[in-house]
Amino acid sequence: MFAVPWGPNTVLGTTDTEYAGSLEAAAVDASDVKYVLSAANWSLGLDLSPDDVVSAWAGLRPLLAGAGGPDTATADLSRKHHLSASEAGLVTITGGKLTTYRRMAADAVDLVCTRLGIAARSRTKRLPIGLRSSLDGLETETRTLTERLGMDPAAAAHLIGAHGDLAPSVLELVMEDRSLGDPLVPGLPWLGAEAVWAVRREMAVTLSDVLERRTRLSLADGAAGLSSPAPAVVGRERGWKADELAAQIARVTRIVSSERGVVAPLPQSPASRTL
């Protein structure tokens, strides 16, 4: 199990429960909550209860079948990925996990190159993920901009961590509209500018894109970001009328509520506070 620091929060997990229900309906149940909190309390000498949980999510991991057949416990199955190629040349990759996605992609590309008789190999390992080779210049530039804008100095580190070399470009939005330099939710790092950036530069087309994927307000905030300015900001950028914004809010509410299951229900009527 893991206890991972994440901004002002800590992520606890995971469970390893076999699941046989609908792929669209995975949700946190009471046994999951008890298992995770009991382990944390025992290991760390804490006294956590469900009331301390801000939010939760459930997901399904694809596992490779074990040699022991369907009776093999999921905890005993390999987390590695497996590549195969059919006689027709279809390359399939199965298993694996989110934290090895780049290795999985590289292995798949290498196999395709081999099958096609191409001498080249994947360049993934040598490609940086949005950061220049030296952080000194980026940190100085971003910190200088946040100071000029009168923002919390912590915003610079957050933007670099989230946007890499594009952090100064995100801050340019704050130069145009100072209100976008405020956190969307007090105590959490995401800024109003990031909601605008998500729509203009990161192809976000729904409110869910912004709250659940471009930022992680759906997890870090007990209200899933729905009581923040985020819905209104996204709605303005997308040109939504009131009825479309309400529908977008209702969709996020439905998704997040279902995923959280028994944990941390959303506040009542977030739409009425947002529109």
**In angstroms, rounded to a whole number, what is the distance separating the alpha carbons of residues 74 and 29?**
18
* Per-chain mean pLDDT for the chain: 89
Residues 184 and 229 sit within 8 Å (Cβ to Cβ): yes
Which of 1-15, 62-76, 235-249 is the most confident on average?
A: 235-249
Which run of H or E residues covers position 95? strand 91-95
Condensed to tens digits (0 to 9), the pLDDT of residues 81-97 reads 899 999 999 999 988 88
> Does the pLDDT at position 124 exceed 90?
no
Hey, what are 3's tokens? 């206890």
Greater pLDDT, 75 or 123: 123
The angle that helices 154-163 and 192-201 make with each other, rounded to 10 degrees, is: 20
Residue from 98, 108, 109, 14 nearest 62 by CA? 98
Greater pLDDT, 90 or 69: 90
Condensed to tens digits (0 to 9), the pLDDT of residues 159-182 reads 999 999 999 999 999 999 999 999
Domain residue limits, the chain? 2-52, 69-126, 132-177
What does the pLDDT read at residue 64? 77
CA angle centred on 108, ends 106 and 114, rounded to 5°? 100
What does the pLDDT read at residue 273? 39
User: Average pLDDT for residues 62-89, to the nearest whole number?
Assistant: 77
What does the pLDDT read at residue 52? 94
**Residue 272 binned pLDDT confidence (cut-offs 50, 70, 90):** very low
What does the pLDDT read at residue 186? 95
The helix/strand/coil state of 36 is helix
Cα dihedral sign for 71, 75, 77, 83? Answer: positive
End-to-end Cα separation, the chain, in angstroms: 40
Peptide bond into 206 cis (omega under 30): no
Condensed to tens digits (0 to 9), the pLDDT of residues 185-231 reads 999 999 999 999 999 999 999 999 999 999 999 999 999 999 999 99
What does the pLDDT read at residue 42? 96
Residues 168 and 144 sit within 8 Å (Cβ to Cβ): no
Greater pLDDT, 275 or 26: 26
User: Average pLDDT for residues 10-22, to the nearest whole number?
Assistant: 87
Percent of the chain whose pLDDT exceeds 90: 67
